Each structure stands twice: as structure tokens, then as C-alpha cells.
Amino acid sequence: MSPRHILDIASLSGDQVRLILDLAQRPIASLGRPLEGLGAALIFEKPSNRTRHSMEIAVMQLGGHPVYTRGEEVGIDVRETAEDIAAVMAGYHGVLAARVFKHDVVVRMARVSGVPVVNMLSDHSHPLQALADALTMQQTIGDLAGRSVAWSGDWNNVARSLAEICVLLGARFSIATPAGYAPQPAEVRRINGLGSGEFVAGTDPFAVVTGAEAVHTDVWVSMGQEAETARKEQAFAAYKVTASLMERAAPQAKFFHCLPAHRGHEVDADVIDGPASRVIPQAHNRLHSARGALAFIMGVK
Ligand code: CP
Ligand code: NVA
């Protein structure tokens, strides 16, 4: 049987996502120790706080031993190919996880790995973040089916995974981006085909946020895009999440951000540090959802 990888939310079914979210909330001891005696290679081509720490602790909580490895050290496709790295490491570890610049690298690793591969963020997606986002929204506003979730800002890796998980779980996900930064129509169609929810793309942040129960954003300039900073800061200025934008959302709407955040850029301080903000529980849920995801790939039911 081929290993259970987590490269994208789109490759999971709604039932699998619900199982991961359930596993995330179970007492740790009830999960057994599915990684007992096993290593987990955690390879990072980019910086990380939440992902590294939550994954290391989640591996430990499931009985395993995390081995943090900097991208430069193994030199993916520089010192040796992604395939050679994965095939070799699969002989040492029970899990391989990687944060990479190019999504194709985790796809290629999964193709040759005899153990599960987890995408810890690529240019394309951030599935572990979406699992924590869904868990936090569920705990905050209840079951996501039929709920309205909005995003004002960049259509990026985090937004894509969040759109996918919302549609899988039956929510309506609306995004406002500047023209020129919108999801391609084919991608909107693809995501709409994933489940019973709905994905809608527009350009007016006030229209998109109207009535939403959860309002999300992320940085305008993702890791690896630094050369685009000046252009994007200008293009996204009207997409900042401000108190007046939040006023258009539902009365009890909550604010979410995967962090790290840039106050005064994609979100104002009075929103991210205000009473509607759920960003710290959201960050803490990275640990619980990482544990759920690891338990899932190790076959815990
Ligand atoms: N949200 C997130 O992935 O944070 P890190 O980049 O710090 O891991
Ligand atoms: N979109 C951001 C998320 C960081 C957690 C990035 O890729 O840099």
C-alpha cells in the first residue's frame, strides 16, 4: 500500500479532513504512540516558527524523534536530487516533511518515498495551516457547513489551502484581490469541484467581507517574493483589514491570520490585537492539527 502523504488539502476527502480535525482534538494518550521508535525528517528551505515548533512537538507527542534539517544542509537539487534525498531519508525515518520553494519538490519526494511525505508550505499551498485554520474556525463559530468565510488580500499558498478546506467542509469562501492577483478561472472551477461549499473570487473587499463570520488575511509578500515588495504594497493598499472593513462582517465576526503578520500593512493593529482576533489560538492549534495530521498519516483511526 502506498503511504498516505499530505501535499495538499485538495488530495484529501472531506471525511479524511474531518478525521484529522477529530484526531487533533482527542487526548494525546488516546492516539497511542504511532511514531514510537521512528524519526521524522523536517527539512526547511525557508524560515519558520510555528511550523517547526508545532511539528517537532507533535512528533514527540506521538513517540517519535524529529530531526530538523536546514535546506542548505541537504541542498535539494543542488547537493543531490530531491528524489535521492527522499529515497535515502525514507530508510531512516517514519515521516518526511519539507518546507520548499517549489511545490514540485514535495511531489517528487512523495513519488519515491516509502514513508508519508508532508508539505510544510510550498509556493503552491500550506495544508497544515489550513487544518489549523479550520479547527480554529470550528471551535470559534461552529461547524463550517453553510458558513461564510472571507479573505481580503493576496491569493497565495495559505489562501489556496484555506479555499480548498472551506469548500471540502461545505463553507462559502469569498476572496477579494486586486485585479491581476486573482485566482485563474480554471482554479476557481477546480476548487468549486472539491466539495459542497462554494469559492467566489472578487475585487471589492467590502463586498466580499459583508456578512462573513470569519475574516482572514495573510502577508502581501510571501517568502521568496521579496523582489515584488514595492509593487505589491501599492497594489494591495486597499485590501488591508481595518476596523471599518471588519464592521461590514457579521456582528460577532472573528479575525484570523496564519502569522507572521505585518501590522499597518495587511492588517491594522487594532484588528489583530483587538477582541475579534483569534490569531493566537489559531497559532496554538498548529500543534494540535499537526498531531492530528501525523496520527492520520500513520493510520490512527
Ligand atoms: N504560519 C506559519 O506557517 O508560520 P511559520 O512560517 O512561522 O512556520
Ligand atoms: N504566505 C506566507 C505564509 C507564511 C507562513 C509565505 O509563504 O511566506
Mean pLDDT, 10 residues at a time, the chain of 301 residues: 95 98 98 98 98 98 98 97 98 98 98 98 99 98 97 98 98 97 98 98 98 98 97 98 98 98 98 98 98 98 95
With contact defined as beta carbons under 8 Å apart, do 112 and 86 qualify?
A: yes
In a domain, 62, yes or no: yes
Q: What is the CATH number of the domain that holds 206?
A: 3.40.50.1370
Within 122-278, where are the H helices?
127-141, 157-168, 185-192, 205-209, 229-235, 243-247, 269-272
Task: For residue 109, tell me if it sits in a domain.
Answer: yes
> Would 4 be classed as within a structural domain?
no
Q: Which of 149, 176, 158, 116 lies closest to 254 in space, CA to CA?
A: 149
Does the CB atom of residue 161 touch ligand 2 within 6 A? no
Strand 214-217, strand 254-257: pairing: parallel
Q: CA–CA separation, 135 vs 130, rounded Å? A: 8
Pair (222, 104) in one structural domain: no
Q: Are residues 166 and 118 in the same domain?
A: no
Q: Is residue 3 part of a domain?
A: no
By residue range, what is the domain housing residue 50? 9-126+284-297
Residues 122 and 24 in one domain: yes
Q: What is the pTM of this model?
A: 0.98
Q: What is the pLDDT of residue 1?
A: 76
> Is residue 240 in a domain?
yes
Q: How many domains does the chain have?
A: 2
Domain shared by 274 and 134, yes or no: yes
Based on the domain organization, do 57 and 152 belong to the same domain? no
Query: How many whole angstroms from 33 Cα to the centroid of ligand 2?
Result: 31
- Whether residues 138 and 66 fall in one domain: no
pLDDT reported for residue 120? 99
The single-letter DSSP state of residue 239 is: G
Q: Are 178 and 61 within one domain?
A: no
How remote is the CA of residue 159 from the centroid of ligand 2, in Å?
Answer: 10
Q: In one letter, which amino acid is 73?
A: E
Could you tell me if residue 161 is inside a domain?
Answer: yes
The answer as to whether 2 is a domain residue is no
Say if residue 246 is in the same domain as residue 211.
yes
- Dihedral sign computed on CA atoms, order 202, 203, 209, 214: positive
Strand ranges inside the chain, DSSP E = 39-44, 65-70, 95-99, 117-119, 148-152, 172-176, 198-202, 214-217, 254-257
258, 282, 285: residue to mutate for ligand 1 pocket, most atoms within 8 A of CB: 258
How many Å lie between the centroid of ligand 1 and the Cα of residue 259?
6
Q: Are residues 147 and 266 in the same domain?
A: yes
Domain shared by 139 and 273, yes or no = yes
- On whether both 212 and 94 belong to a single domain, the answer is no
One domain for residues 270 and 196? yes
